[in-house]
Amino acid sequence: MGFDVTRFQGDVDEELLCPICSEVLEDPLQAPSCEHAFCSGCINEWLSRQQTCPVDRQTITSSQLKPVPRILRSLLSKLYISCDNKPHGCASVVKLDALTSHLEECEFNPKRPVPCEQGCGLVVPKDELKDHNCLRELRTLIQNQSGKIAELQQELAENKYQLNEQKREIQLLKDFMRAMRISNPQMRAIADQMEQDEVARWASSLARARVTRWGA
């Protein structure tokens, strides 16, 4: 849906109105060939029911829609619109392209996040502040954190179990290699070579020694 025309100062050019909702274009998209422009929400809902242009009935799909030209976006951005929170007392009139940033800071915005001043320090929407209960909210927060801690503990326990299983398998392999070394000369040579390779890898991983003080 678009922006209500009555929220704007002065007359609004007809080219800036959505043919579907008859309101000022919001997040507009245009058809690929006929270039008719619509609110993105309006045209996507329309195309979900019938894949034709609402104006001239040319066949189009959602994937064929494209952004409107820069000149149209520029004309829209220069329109002056009253704040969404006018019913709550805001008298501000801002450019359309500045509306989003204004709403985030508007003191009359009922959904503006504000910190609780009753002691818990939690941030809640302004319109929920009157029903906010610090004790209840903190209890819920603690329960959620406890659930996350329990999940982490379970994950750590599973990782520890897997690590112990790997250690057990390694020990079994060592025992097998030791038994084969005793009973089979060829396997003894292979095992000795593996141990030598392991020692060589360990030695190569050591940092090079440096002489920092010459003795007598």
Distance of CA 84 to the CA centre of its chain: 26
Range with the poorest average pLDDT among 25-29, 80-84, 144-148, 188-192: 188-192
* Angle at which helices 185-205 and 134-183 cross, to 10°: 130
pLDDT at 186: 67
Fold adopted by 1-78:
Herpes Virus-1 (3.30.40)
> What residue segments make up the domains of the chain, in order of their start?
1-78, 80-109, 135-200
Of 80-89, 153-162, 194-203, give the lowest mean pLDDT range. Answer: 194-203
- Using pLDDT thresholds of 50, 70 and 90, give the confidence band for residue 187: low
Q: What is this structure's pTM?
A: 0.53
As given in the structure block, the two tokens for residue 53 are: 């242009």
Distance, in Å, from the CA atom of 88 to the CA atom of 80, rounded to the nearest integer, reads: 19
pLDDT band at 216 (very low <50, low <70, confident <90, very high): very low
CB contact at 8 A, 3 and 96: yes
Nearest alpha carbon to residue 114 among 130, 125, 98:
125
Q: State the CB neighbour count (10 A cutoff) for residue 55.
A: 13
